[in-house]
Amino acid sequence: MDLSGKVAIVTGASKGIGLATVQALLARGAAVAGWARSAPDDFTHDRFQFFECDVQDEHSITEAFTNTMRELGPEIHVLVNNAGLGIMGDVDGFRTEDWKTMFDTNVLGTFLCTRAVLPQMKQQHAGHIVNVASLAGTAGSAGMSGYCATKFAVRGFSDSLFKEVRPDGIRVTCVMPGSVETNFNGKEPGLTPDPHKMQPEDIAAAIVHAIEAPDTTMISEIQLRPANVK
């Protein structure tokens, strides 16, 4: 897809992979709606509009979607389901509230945002949905059962979705990064890049690569790992 003049929605757009994806899409000529609970710090662009949105809340998504179509036009060409969080801990000490928060954000949020855009994409007979999962959706890890479960769910959802909407001209890509230097799990990125982690811009570049694939090609899954291991 040629992104020039297209409209994209990016969830979790205030920082990390989300903000890097917003910037990458803008650089390719798209108009971008950033959905998040808070606006990105010190970031403005004439083709970027921020809409406050909590992806756990169906009403909040409906409102953000309505506002996006009013401000940027009725056609929606790209949805990047990036909003997510990770809470770590052993199962026998894990709080029920934390478990529900992760599933409501990572899984329910992905479903609700996808469901919101699908009627318009089907009407256009065109669109691309990118779901940001994780390598944690390919193999379990001790102390990460809840997070891994959500990302396995996102990967399964993506695989089923691409088969469901493929006849409608809609492409679906599941992006599964390994270690990325972000605010994930409450940690602050280092002042200098960690050579053993990928940068948010690296994941954004992969997302754009998938979206810009030729019309004859759908990249259904991308796994990314740091090139330099400890």
Q: Report pLDDT for 87.
A: 95
Please check whether the domain covering 7-224 is classified as CATH 3.40.50.720: yes
> Which of 93, 196, 203, 110 lies closest to 146, judged by CA?
93
Q: Report pLDDT for 228.
A: 80
* Spatial distance between the Cα atoms of 25 and 64, rounded to a whole number of angstroms: 19
Residues 6+ apart with CB under 8 A from 162: 171, 172, 173, 218, 220
Categorise residue 75: left if φ over 0, alpha if ψ from -120 to 50, beta otherwise: beta
Active site residue 147: yes
Q: Report pLDDT for 189.
A: 45
Q: Report pLDDT for 111.
A: 98
Which residue in the list 147, 152, 157, 162 is annotated as catalytic? Answer: 147
- 48-81 burial, b for 16+ CB within 10 Å, e for fewer? bebbebbbbbeebbeebbebbbeebeeebbbbbb
> Angle, nearest 10°, between helix axes 16-27 and 200-211?
50
* Residue 177 near residue 134 (C-beta atoms within 8 A): yes
Residue 76: phi and psi, rounded to 5, are -120, 115
Q: Report pLDDT for 183.
A: 57
* Residue 87 near residue 105 (C-beta atoms within 8 A): no
| pLDDT block averages, 10 residues each, the chain of length 230 | 97 96 98 97 96 98 98 97 96 97 98 98 98 96 96 98 98 95 55 77 97 96 89
> Which of 120, 111, 168, 84 lies closest to 7, judged by CA?
120
Alpha carbon separation from 222 to 55, 206, 209 (Å, rounded): 24, 8, 10
